[in-house]
Amino acid sequence: MAWLLSLMLSTASIVAPFRGAPVEAPRFSAAPDQASIGLAETPVQEAALYRVVLVRAAPGRLLELIDALKAVQSDMASSGGWRPHLMRHSQGDHWDLMWLGPFDPETAMPERSAEFDPRWDALIAWREELMVRGPDVETVAAKLADASFFHIEMFVGLPGKRQELLRQREMENAYLRGIDRPENLIFWRVAGAQWDLFTLGAYRDLKHFAESADVPEDLQEQAAILAGFEAADRIGTYLRSLIARHQDTLAGVVR
């Protein structure tokens, strides 16, 4: 089997079928309280293990690559496995597609370079792979089940600041809870590409993503302080003090 097909088949899915169920509009009538905005505990090594593959299609071959990967998704689903989540770049980084799914090292199929398939070679310009830990599979599946639009932030932390970077991401989730906005899924590196950590925000659509602009400034300020930031306008500057580089990407779901 092809090296990439082998890679994809070794990755279980994290998503249920997309149902498009309606979601209530955000409510901003009440200020956050300390209990509702409290920080989550720092993740532990026993968190779920995932494999992430970022691929860029060969020129003019993107639709063929999407069809090929969707066929792999279907094969995995029909064999009783999880259906991996596939996202298509809209704006931001240079990859075209992100493949994300749980990884079980005991059942994963090993890649063998001798099984290099010319078909995949013709479809792919380059790829990056990342092994990460993150929330349990059920939590991720529920978060992504009805989403069609994603905000992906990938970070390389400064030396000695990577644990603080993880904590900053948790603080930002506490802030998002305080302003009644969807929290990000947080994944941190185990092995692979350069990225130390990435977060994945899942939304119904672009309009849902943009609704943060409607949050009153006084609520933003109070939520930021309760989450541990100096102020709402210091969230980004604090983040920048912890990272060597980052990449933001907007993406849509591939159905």
Across 54-74, average pLDDT: 91
Place of tokens 């082998």: 6
**Do the beta carbons of residue 13 and residue 145 sit within 8 Å?**
no
* pLDDT band, residue 119 (cuts 50/70/90): confident
Domains of the chain, earliest start first: 3-14+47-159+179-205+245-253 (3.30.70)
Residue-level pLDDT at 109: 40
- The answer to whether the pTM exceeds 0.75 is yes
In this prediction, residue 80 carries a pLDDT of 66
Percent above pLDDT 90 for the chain: 60
The Cβ of residue 231 has, within 10 Å, a number of other Cβ atoms equal to: 12
Produce one character per residue of 137-175: b if its CB has 16 or more CB atoms within 10 Å, e if not.
beebbebbbbbbbbbbbbbbbeeebbeebbebbbbbbbb
pLDDT at 1 over 60: no
Q: Where are the beta strands (DSSP E) in the chain?
A: 48-57, 85-91, 97-102, 124-134, 149-157, 185-192, 197-203, 243-253
Instruction: Provide the pLDDT for residue 105.
Output: 57
Q: Would you list the DSSP string of 50-82?
A: EEEEEEEEPTT-HHHHHHHHHHHHHHHHHTTS-
User: How does the average pLDDT of the chain come out, rounded?
Assistant: 80
d(CA 99, CA 102): 10
Reported as a single tens digit per residue, the pLDDT across 126-171 is 999 999 999 998 899 899 988 999 999 999 999 999 999 999 999 9
CA distance 209 to 128: 27
Share of the chain above pLDDT 70, in %: 75
Q: How far apart are alpha carbons 51 and 8 in whole angstroms? A: 9
Task: Write out pLDDT tens, residues 229-250.
Answer: 999 999 999 999 999 999 999 9
> 116: pLDDT confidence band, cut at 50, 70 and 90?
low
User: What is the torsional sign of CA 41, 189, 239, 180?
Assistant: negative
Give the confidence band of 117 by pLDDT, cuts at 50, 70, 90.
Answer: low
Q: At 73, is the pLDDT very low, low, confident or very high (cuts 50, 70, 90)?
A: confident
